[in-house]
Amino acid sequence: TAAEKCFVAQPTLTLQVKKLEEQLGTVIFDRKKHPLTPTALGEKIILKARQILREAESLESIVSSDKSMMKGDFHIGVIPTVAPYLMPYFLKDFTDKNPDTHLIIHEMQTSNIIKGLKNNTIDVGILVTPLEEDTIREVPLFQESFLVYSKKDDPLHDKNLVKTSDIKPEGLLILNEGHCFRSQVLNICGEEMREHKGFSYQSGTIETLKNLVKSDLGFTLVPELSTLGKKEDEPYLMRFEEPQPTREVSLVVHHGFSKEALIDALRESIQKNLPDVVKKKKHFVRVKWR
């Protein structure tokens, strides 16, 4: 029966047909005839309904095809405190596995990535979350520790591990306004830091901050990836005690973005190629930047 084919009880199907007739303001089936037959107008409605169902199936097929399609150019916005340190770990692996996918990388601050996702000028962002943006979908990738970067004669080096309460405003070197990393450093250091006006120096890059520390102009906090594989950085580094303050790095896309295959491929490539010290983060406190 029709009800069985629709996987519902007969009374349920009868009720739904009646509701449709009321909504359309016409009779679809002639109930005086047995077996039940469509009216002349009902025949046209059924014909059109079948056409709509076919189109719906076609639409699903288009969406399914689009989700798996990765061929062509894709614009990726990456924040400056992540781009130079993360991209070298996974880009070659990704491009080798996806030769038809051309990633165009843009270093952009967070506000511009959000704007680009909303106005469709970029496809994917890599930045620090949470954003708390209703129209943006976040796909967390990893937690990255904050490290203290200071000279050996800094009193902080008298400790095996640093507490967040050990970080004082005097001599702290930070990034310029507009960097989410700056906001996180201020959040780690608390209200005392926000109220302090005597910042020694404000820079646009992590590497400039490191060079200033080496010139004995103060100390700073740096993201862990910026120090890995760099022997020249090792004498300057100190870790926080657990749970370590970290930043959450994520892929972000607009909720309307349908290329699931691209999101999955990027996530897989990034997570597979991360250094073990970043992959195996267990005891941490995620630092918000907003």
Domains of the chain with bracketed CATH: 2-68 (1.10.10.10), 72-135+255-275 (3.40.190.10), 144-245 (3.40.190.10)
Among the listed ranges 66-75, 220-229, 272-281, which one has the minimum average pLDDT value? 66-75
- The total number of residues shown for the chain amounts to 290
Numbers of helices and strands, H then E, in the chain: 10, 12
Higher pLDDT, 213 or 269: 269
DSSP structural state of residue 234: G
pLDDT band for 178, please (50, 70, 90 cuts): low
pLDDT at 253: 94
Per residue in 127-160, pLDDT tens?
A: 999 988 988 999 999 999 989 999 888 888 888 8
Residue-by-residue DSSP string for 141-205: EEEEEEEEE--TTSGGGGSSSB-GGG--STTBEEEPTT-HHHHHHHHHH-HHHHH----SEEES-
pLDDT at 231: 87
Separation CA 43–CA 254 (nearest Å): 42
Separation CA 188–CA 202 (nearest Å): 17
Per residue in 94-131, pLDDT tens?
A: 999 999 899 999 999 999 999 999 988 999 999 999 98
pLDDT(200) > 60: no
pLDDT at 66: 61
* 280-77-115 Cα angle (round to 5): 120
pLDDT band for 85, please (50, 70, 90 cuts): very high
Q: Which of 222, 187, 177, 194 is nearest to 84 (CA)?
A: 222
pLDDT at 159: 83
Q: Which amino acid is at 272?
A: K
147 neighbors 238 (Cβ within 8 angstroms): yes
Where does residue 11 rank: exposed (0-12), middle (13-18), buried (19+ CB within 10 A)? exposed
Q: Label the pairing between strands 29-30 and 237-239.
A: unpaired
